[in-house]
Amino acid sequence: MLYTVKEAANLTGITVKTLYHYHKIGLLTPQSISDAGYRLYSMKELEQLQRILFFRELDFSLKDIKKVLEDEPSRQLCLTNQYELLYARRQRLDVSTARTLLLPQCGRRSLCVCKAAIDDLINLG
């Protein structure tokens, strides 16, 4: 079965504009284009789209997704690198959250005392 751009977009939860963009940059090519100019996608392309969306959820750039999909041996290395980037981002967010939660508690205490409390909280995590 073949799906039009609109049907593929509805099935996957992305926009028609996104599908057009993915085609334009060579990330997802439709199986065929009808005589009327409609892009048609098979299950194979929809599965590829699901892989693309998976990597987007991991904050991969479209350029990196294309590289990963074209070069299977480098996939594990790319996933490891992305994991490290996301882990570092998570740590920064944890620090920011700890600081935000402690601000109201600091009240009139000196900044040094507040900083020490934040550092203690971070070191516990």
Domain identity same for 53 and 7: yes
Position 31 pLDDT exceeds 70:
yes
- Token readout for 4 is 């039009």
Query: How many domains are there within the chain?
Result: 2
Residue 68 domain flag: no
Same domain, 8 and 54: yes
- For residue 98, being part of any structural domain is answered with yes
Distance CA 82, CA 3 (A): 32
The Cα 66–Cα 15 span in angstroms is 19
Predicted TM-score of the model (pTM):
0.65
* pLDDT at 108 exceeding the cut of 60: no
Instruction: Look up the domain containing 104 and give its range.
Output: 75-124
Rg (CA), the chain: 22
44 assigned to some structural domain: yes
Same-domain check for residues 49 and 80: no
Note whether residue 113 is domain-resident. Answer: yes
Question: Which pLDDT score is estimated for 99?
Answer: 72
Is 39 in the same domain as 79?
Answer: no
CATH number of the domain bearing residue 32: 1.10.1660.10
